[in-house]
Amino acid sequence: MSLSKAAFVLVHGGFHNHSVWDRITPILEAQGFAVLTLDLPGAGVHAVAPTSLGSRPFDPDAFAAERSPMAGVTQEERTKAVVALVKEAASLGDGKIILVGHSAGGLTISAVTEQVPELLLAVVYLSGFMLPNGMPLLAMLQHETMSSALGRGLFVGDPVATGATRINIESTDDAYRSRLKAMFYGDASDAEFVHAASQLHCDEPVAGAVTPSAITPGRFGTVPRHYIRCTQDYAIPLVCQDHMITTVDGSIGGNTTLHTLESSHSPFLSQPAALSKILIDICVQSLAEQSAEAL
């Protein structure tokens, strides 16, 4: 069983795009792994900003009230896009696929795992939302374990009215940008933050936040799952990460294998070598377990 035939499918989180993996992809590829990434529907090249964001002079009230062009993007569209990518990856990795999701990308990888468990060697949550069956993201965002998260001070407008969770990616307010850095990139340099922030889109479709997680022991529960805990995370605090792990393990059965990084929400930016090592170790472990089961 050749290590070089394993493939990674990497799914970005909210407000981000495939570029978050730019420091990870070459490290994995140098070790012989195929790596596939994408911009989810409504993200990256698919994102359309409200016209008020670019209006000058800028009108903050108009920006807070304008309906999002991305309001109609559904979780089902995102799930389908990643299922298609997983199927493409299957031809590159002999069916040995490691599916990785960061942050809100956890919603999508859970749904994909439930749909195509037979195609996955393992599923990996990188400080991701791993929600128990029946729970929407909105409920977890309101859970007490999220009380120290910094996002609430960044969101603009009423998500119900705009159809999106919105941040002001073009804000020049020092306090706002400082909070944005602390939430996503606390251990990154200022230069790294400036570049990363330039890649953000402002609207995350609210449909994904209100769609209940639908995972079952008989499908999702059959895929070995891993969680990479980020201890200095102010987007999804560590206490919330641990709460989700405990809740899903208790409801689905089995144990999530834990890994820990002393990092912010974005170790792909601040600690790419350490994160890549964890991902490679997960793949090696998963291949060994698959091989042992085949004997």
pLDDT at 290: 83
Domain extent listing, the chain: 3-294
CATH number of 3-294: 3.40.50.1820
Q: Alpha-carbon distance 190 to 188, whole Å?
A: 7
* Maximum distance among all Cα pairs of the chain, rounded to whole angstroms: 68
Q: Alpha-carbon distance 30 to 130, whole Å?
A: 30
pLDDT at 1: 36
Give the count of alpha carbons within 13 A of 237, CB side only.
15
Q: Alpha-carbon distance 230 to 211, whole Å?
A: 25
Judge contact between 107 and 82, C-beta under 8 A: no
Q: What is the pLDDT along the chain (295 residues), one digit of tens a residue?
A: 344 468 999 999 999 999 999 999 999 999 999 999 999 999 999 999 999 999 999 999 999 999 999 999 999 999 999 999 999 999 886 778 999 999 999 999 999 999 999 999 999 999 999 999 999 999 999 999 999 999 989 999 999 999 999 999 999 999 999 999 999 999 999 999 999 999 999 999 999 999 999 999 999 999 999 999 999 999 999 999 999 999 999 999 999 999 999 999 999 999 999 999 999 999 999 988 887 877 6
pLDDT at 6: 83
Q: Alpha-carbon distance 119 to 151, whole Å?
A: 34
Who contacts 158 (Cβ-Cβ below 8 Å, separation ≥6)? 64
